[in-house]
A and B are shown apart, each in its own frame.
Chain A
Amino acid sequence: MKLRIKYTKTGVLRFIGHLDIMRLFQKAIRRAKLNVSYSKGFSPHQVISFAAPMPLGMTSEGEYFDGEFDLVTSTADMMQRLNDTLPEGIVVLDIVALPDDAKPSMSIVSASDYIIFRNEECEEDIISRLIEKIDDMNAMPVVEVMKKTKTKEELTNIKPGIYALHEYVKQSPYTEVYDKAIYMMLASGSILNLKPELVIEALCKQAGITYNRYNYRVHRLETYMGERTSLQSLGTVGKHF
């Protein structure tokens, strides 16, 4: 049976890279004694795949991976068994069974939303100063930033990738406490992908602040699929069991 597992990656685990998080789950699944399926061949591996790789330094409460299982018990039991063995910072939030024809999560991701808050080492009013520029930026038809690729650097219009941008007034239970935060919903996935850092950089430019990526903490709230007008979180296609 194909399952989709939603999890958090918080706290100091933001310094663990994507491949290591995959290895961490492979071991956790074994410790939890879940009947994951193995591929055939001389060195069989677990049939699991992750939705959207996360860069080092980012935290999240909306990560997903899909796994093929030979036997399953119930959502509650499997969650409990995983959470009992996962390290502090990773919590399984939900497990759903996918329909047989469900596409792999990696291929359907179309958007993510994030909150941005101040890293404790930087000056206190930095987020407020950026928030003041949000309305200006939302009114701009074109937002250009320098985008670096491996080979070149060029001015790119990031506006098409910004689906929403405003102040965030709630406190996430999965992050450190902050006084001010910015919310952004951005395109992500294989068709159009916009990194939150580029939006912060654009806001900094508006506010006349020198951009320094270590001044900000980026936290993903949720990963979505579907068209821009009808975005759904990745977990909505499945059912509890």
Chain B
Amino acid sequence: MAKLALSERILMNIEKPARYIGNEVNIVKKDLANVDIRIAMCFPDVYEIGMSYLGIQILYDMFNRREDTYCERVYSPWPDLDRIMREENIPLFSLETQTPIHDMDILAITIQYEMCYTNILQVIDLSNISIFSKDRTEDDPIVIGGGPCVVNPEPIADFFDIFYIGEGETSYDELLNLYKEYKHSEMTRKEFLIKASNIPGIYVPSLYEVTYNEDKTIKAVKPIMDGVPASIKRQVVVDFENSPYPLKPVIPYIRATQDRVTLEIMRGCIRGCRFCQAGMIYRPTRQKPVELLKEYAKLMIDNTGYEEISLSSLSSSDYENLDELLNYLIKLRDTEHVNVSLPSLRIDAFSLDVMSKVQDIKKSSLTFASEAGTQRLRDVINKGITEEDILNGSREAFLGGWDKVKLYFMLGLPTETDQDLYGIAELAEKISEVYFDTVPKEKRNGRVMINASASYFVPKPFTPFQWAPMILPEEFTRRAYYVKDCFLQQRNKKSLKFTYHDANISILEGVLARGDRRLSAVIYDVYKQGAIFDAWTEYFDIHRYMDAFKRHNIDILFYTTRERSLDEVFPWDHIDAGVTKAYLAREWEQAKKGVVTKNCRSQCMGCGSAVYQGGVCFEAKN
């Protein structure tokens, strides 16, 4: 058992000390004498969130398969411990061996959402590593960022030595081999970074220079020297079937947000919803064979002792052998006492039948991600669900005994009018009418509940809506109130409920998502003002950001409400995500015309991802 980095007095004075002691079941232990490369893998949020994330478990397992490498974990210390570590000068440490992060070779940080940017600085700072990559020396670990946010890493470019663009399964071996060479030779840090920039998917931001036009838009992003590639290609694991998967995941002692076995069945999505970044940046869609998944499910349940299993994918209903897989899991439920938690499935007779077997109908609710209130707007966003689908699904569900329905919407989608907003209330009303038409009085227990909730639409890079303006927060509030009024006008208003998200966090996401390098200074500034855990409403302070934008002369409307022209150079244009800008532009034009686009299985729309030579693009040809 490793000696703990924190004392008894500290551990007994903070919330959930189990976050910091490591020693969990299935952790990897290695003899440090036989290890050449030490990696600290970080999820920059609290332990319970970070431990729920599949990606780290995949990379942890993958790195530790290398004999010369020892990968350990580190998470953001919660504000109570953060304060103590600063007061007492305690350096941030890894969980497995409780080693200071500064003693590691590599600090690898996964970046899942924009609101964790200040936590990234917290982790680097508490590790006693210089916050800006330009200030780091040969003694500092190499700081690498990865994950979905790094398709536009520019707002945090100044803090990282390297970004790994895309899926970790492909290029890390080559990068680690190069690191080893660097460590055992006279090679300088700079020389290492230049060599690394030639590995597929590796982006070294300090080797690129950004120039600006007079109107503040970007003129160009170019390498500062020969021998550094002009564009960086997002990595995709083509042989998804045989890519490593963590069959013995680390099991936290305290309850994590996802306290169950997670089985990744598919990566990518065939649907092409125009607002959805994940649907674009994980292309092409790849599936794991059902026989392999059955084997994995059983092994992981045996290796962990978890009593619940859930499926992970962007759209499980599109997994081709879903029936067979779910039937197998239901069988496991009976023999192994495993609960099956279902991801959002398309609601139809089959999924309702499965749900009725694995859920307590009385306690569960159905979810429709309608996203928009009218068919016109659903066509604009290419959300392939119709009112008929929703009403039929609801009818089947009500007949099956459900009486709670959840509906998700976004406000502020391109071309949205008050008619679309009224449509949200109208759709909810129609669902309640289906209930009263379908379920006879004597069979009704209590009241049917239709809960609609709306979030504030944030345009993301590498989506057809990357050119779209975001609406002003005042307009979001007006629209939200308007929808609320529309709900009150409905006949069954007592069965309908409408809630909406806080606008402030979305504004910030809007700035950061499509931001550029000029924002690094702001992020550093708000961090210095004390901002951490911005993804947590209780710690997030919008004024801290607004003041900093003012100090740095940054007009946030430049990033949020401005409509971009088709020929504008984006901060992320030097990242090649697979989907081409020409395809996205076509989709943006089609969106404005309200023309829908077929899914990848029905027809190839030429998005550009076929260059990866795998997945759904080649399904028919196999």
> Is residue B392 within 8 Å, beta carbon to beta carbon, of the partner chain?
no
> By the criterion CB–CB under 8 Å, are A56 and B12 in contact?
yes
Contact code string B461-499 (vs A, CB < 8 Å = 1, else 0): 000000000000000000000000000000000000000
**B residues near A33, Cβ cutoff 8 Å:** 302
Closest 3 CB pairs of A and B: A27-B305, A30-B305, A15-B17
> With A13-B23, A214-B8 in contact, is A27–B304 under 8 Å at CB?
yes
**A residues near B255, Cβ cutoff 8 Å:** 20, 23
Tell me the B233-262 residues at the A interface (CB within 8 Å): 251, 253-255
> Is residue A38 within 8 Å, beta carbon to beta carbon, of the partner chain?
yes
Most B CB within 10 A of own CB, among A13, A30, A88, A217? A30
Question: Can you list 17 A-B pairs, Cβ within 8 angstroms, ordered by A?
Answer: A11-B1, A12-B1, A12-B23, A15-B11, A15-B21, A26-B307, A27-B307, A30-B305, A30-B306, A30-B337, A33-B302, A43-B360, A57-B12, A89-B1, A213-B12, A214-B8, A214-B9
Please, which residue of chain A has its CB at the minimum distance from the CB of B24?
Answer: A87
Tell me the B339-392 residues at the A interface (CB within 8 Å): 339, 360
> Is residue A99 within 8 Å, beta carbon to beta carbon, of the partner chain?
no
- A201 smallest CB distance to B (angstroms): 16
> By the criterion CB–CB under 8 Å, are A27 and B306 in contact?
yes
**A residues near B565, Cβ cutoff 8 Å:** none
**A residues near B304, Cβ cutoff 8 Å:** 27, 31
> Is residue A44 within 8 Å, beta carbon to beta carbon, of the partner chain?
yes
> With A12-B21, A27-B25, A56-B12 in contact, is A42–B254 under 8 Å at CB?
no
**B residues near A16, Cβ cutoff 8 Å:** 18, 21, 253-254
Tell me the B300-340 residues at the A interface (CB within 8 Å): 301-307, 337, 339
Contact residue among B8, B25, B251, B305 (Cβ-Cβ distance under 8 Å from A57): B8
The CA of A16 and the CA of B25, in the complex, are separated in Å by: 13
Contact residue among A15, A27, A121, A214 (Cβ-Cβ distance under 8 Å from B251): A27
**B residues near A143, Cβ cutoff 8 Å:** none
- A213 smallest CB distance to B (angstroms): 7
Interface size of B by CB at 8 A reads 29
Interface size of A by CB at 8 A reads 31
Contact code string A19-47 (vs B, CB < 8 Å = 1, else 0): 01001101111110100001000111000
- B275 smallest CB distance to A (angstroms): 36
Contact code string B5-28 (vs A, CB < 8 Å = 1, else 0): 001110111000110011111000
> By the criterion CB–CB under 8 Å, are B307 and A30 in contact?
yes
- B98 smallest CB distance to A (angstroms): 10
**A residues near B339, Cβ cutoff 8 Å:** 43
Identify 14 new A-B residue pairs, CB closer than 8 A, beyond the known A15-B18, A27-B304: A11-B1, A16-B18, A16-B254, A20-B255, A24-B25, A30-B306, A31-B303, A31-B304, A57-B11, A87-B25, A88-B23, A89-B23, A121-B8, A217-B8
> Is residue B4 within 8 Å, beta carbon to beta carbon, of the partner chain?
yes
Tell me the B265-295 residues at the A interface (CB within 8 Å): none
Please, which residue of chain A has its CB at the minimum distance from the CB of B20?
Answer: A15
Tell me the B14-46 residues at the A interface (CB within 8 Å): 17-18, 21-25
Please, which residue of chain B has its CB at the minimum distance from the CB of A20?
Answer: B253
- A125 smallest CB distance to B (angstroms): 18
> Is residue A119 within 8 Å, beta carbon to beta carbon, of the partner chain?
yes
Please, which residue of chain B has its CB at the minimum distance from the CB of A87?
Answer: B25
Tell me the A144-200 residues at the B interface (CB within 8 Å): none
> Is residue A226 within 8 Å, beta carbon to beta carbon, of the partner chain?
no
